[in-house]
Amino acid sequence: RVWKDVHNACVQHKEFRLAYICGLNLIVHADELQEVIRQYEYNGYIDELLQLLEAGLGLERAHMGMFTELAILYTKYKPEKTDEHLRLFWSRLNIPKVIRACDEAHLWKEMVFLYENYDEFDNAALSMITHASDAWEHSRFKDIVVKVSNLEIYYKALKFYLDEHPLLLSDLLVALTPRIDHTRVVQMFKKSDNLPLIKSYLISVQETNNLAVNNAYNDILIEEEDYKSLRDSIDNFDKFDNIELAQRLEKHDLLEFRRIAAHLYKKNKRWAQSIALSKEDRLFKDAIETASESRSTEVAEELLEYFVQIGNKECFTACLYACYDLVRSDVVLEMSWKHGLTDFAMPYLVQVMREFSNKIDILEKANAERTAKEQEREKNESEIPLINPAGLGNQLLLTQGPGQGMAPQGYGNAYGNINNMNYQGF
């Protein structure tokens, strides 16, 4: 009570050196701290109040209230000192109370710092987005946003970056990739017609084989006319609308994209459409490969007939080679004879004759071996002796008679004794 009275008198008479001594004994009590602050503030002695509280922080009995109140006073009267104070003593502050003071003082950077250290990552991220001019910093924002619990903040962050920092989008997406919904991201950027901005992100997540990602990436490649990357994409990742893409590409101005359309038809076993597209562009090698892969005699022979009609003898021979096991030899022979292509069909016909000859040799060998085995079996059967030749009327000989010690039944001796006769030794 004495310290309080003396302190009040010293402040009233502006004896701040003595008030300083009294104040140090008062502010260590949480109950007295608020009254001391009100007295100094009411009289406008802000610098003296700040000096008093700064000195009190070094006391052994310094408590949380002193650190907190000094932080609040800094936000009001010395905002340039706020950041340093928070970084030094954030662990000894009543953080929610200081956050409110920072909000009222529009100290957004300091408020984000407190949110971050109070594990309020959602509020920290939202504050950086809302007050980007003062609080946003790319590397720091990335560290904070990956820790938020509400994933909707991810999409707010993407929208913010699209509007304010589009060149940093790819870097942000790399950080968000593990928890983000790829389909939703693609829809967001497709709606705003900004898919090229996230091309690197699409490449990095294409291994998930996501339908929306594949379609978006393929669209970018078509727009960039990068047919090599498009071909790799459709060969390695199959989740996309194959037929729709093929129909788009078959009317493309560039030949390589029309080739990709034929390739897509082939992958989907639409052999006729694929070959027709290759014929139209005179890509006969692609057509022959498609016919061979179809494993269809009808498709192969139709292509063979086409080469005959256009008079392309070399492709006729090439098709025979590639589709050798699909076309029928009689059809080839008739076709080559009718159109004077015997010389071009001769390699095929020679090979066919060779195969027929080999098959006949194999059959003859197998037949000879079977005949030899049958003759040997018949010979072995004829050499086996008969135990009971037919027509002799004799019974089979017994290989063993009754056991020793047993008398044959129905026979007696000269004396008529049957039951008591001993046959031992006979």
Residue 72: both structure tokens together: 């609040």
pLDDT at 255: 96
Residue 389 is predicted with a pLDDT of: 52
Please tell me the pTM assigned to this model: 0.75
Single-letter code of the amino acid located at 308:
V
Distance CA 232, CA 315 (A): 28
Let me know: does 101 contact 76? Beta carbons within 8 Å.
Answer: yes
Residue among 52, 43, 91, 96 nearest 70 (CA): 52
Q: What is the mean pLDDT of residues 64-71?
A: 95
* pLDDT value at residue 386: 52
Neighbours of 95 (CB within 10 A): 19
Place of tokens 């031992």: 424
Q: How many other CB atoms sit within 10 Å of the CB of residue 287?
A: 27
419 against 308, higher pLDDT: 308
Tell me the torsion sign for CA atoms 204, 208, 209, 213.
Answer: negative
Q: How far apart are CA 50 and CA 61, in angstroms?
A: 18
Half-sphere exposure of 124 (CA within 13 A, CB side): 23
400 pLDDT higher than 80 = no
Contact 182, 162 (CB under 8 A): no
Predicted pLDDT at 424: 42
> Three-state SS string across the chain, please?
CHHHHHHHHHHHCCCHHHHHHHHHHHCCCHHHHHHHHHHHHHHCCHHHHHHHHHHHCCCCCCCHHHHHHHHHHHHHHCHHHHHHHHHHHHHHCCHHHHHHHHHHCCCHHHHHHHHHHCCCHHHHHHHHHHCHHHHCCHHHHHHHHCCCCCCHHHHHHHHHHHHHCHHHHHHHHHHHHHHCCHHHHHHHHHHCCCHHHHHHHHHHHHHHCCHHHHHHHHHHHHHHCCHHHHHHHHHHCCCCCHHHHHHHHCCCCCHHHHHHHHHHHHHCCCHHHHHHHHHHCCCHHHHHHHHHHHCCHHHHHHHHHHHHHHCCHHHHHHHHHHCCCCCCHHHHHHHHHHCCCHHHHHHHHHHHHHHHHHHHHHHHHHHHHHHHHHHHHHHHHHCCCCCCCCCCCCCCCCCCCCCCCCCCCCCCCCCCCCCCCCCCCC
How does residue 11 score in pLDDT terms, banded at 50, 70 and 90?
confident
Domain residue spans in the chain? 119-180, 270-358
Q: How far apart are alpha carbons 164 and 134 in whole angstroms? A: 14
Question: pLDDT higher for 266 or 1?
Answer: 266
pLDDT in tens, 253-301: 999 999 999 999 999 999 999 999 999 999 999 999 999 999 999 999 9
Give the confidence band of 388 by pLDDT, cuts at 50, 70, 90.
low
User: How far is 94 from 419, CA to CA, in rounded Å?
Assistant: 128
Other beta carbons less than 10 A from residue 8's beta carbon: 16
pLDDT band at 419 (very low <50, low <70, confident <90, very high): very low
pLDDT tens profile 145-170: 999 999 999 999 999 999 999 999 99
For residues 40 and 14, what is the distance between their CA atoms, to the nearest angstrom?
11
User: What does the pLDDT average to over 360-381?
Assistant: 87
Q: What's the CA gap between 6 and 45, in Å, rounded?
A: 17
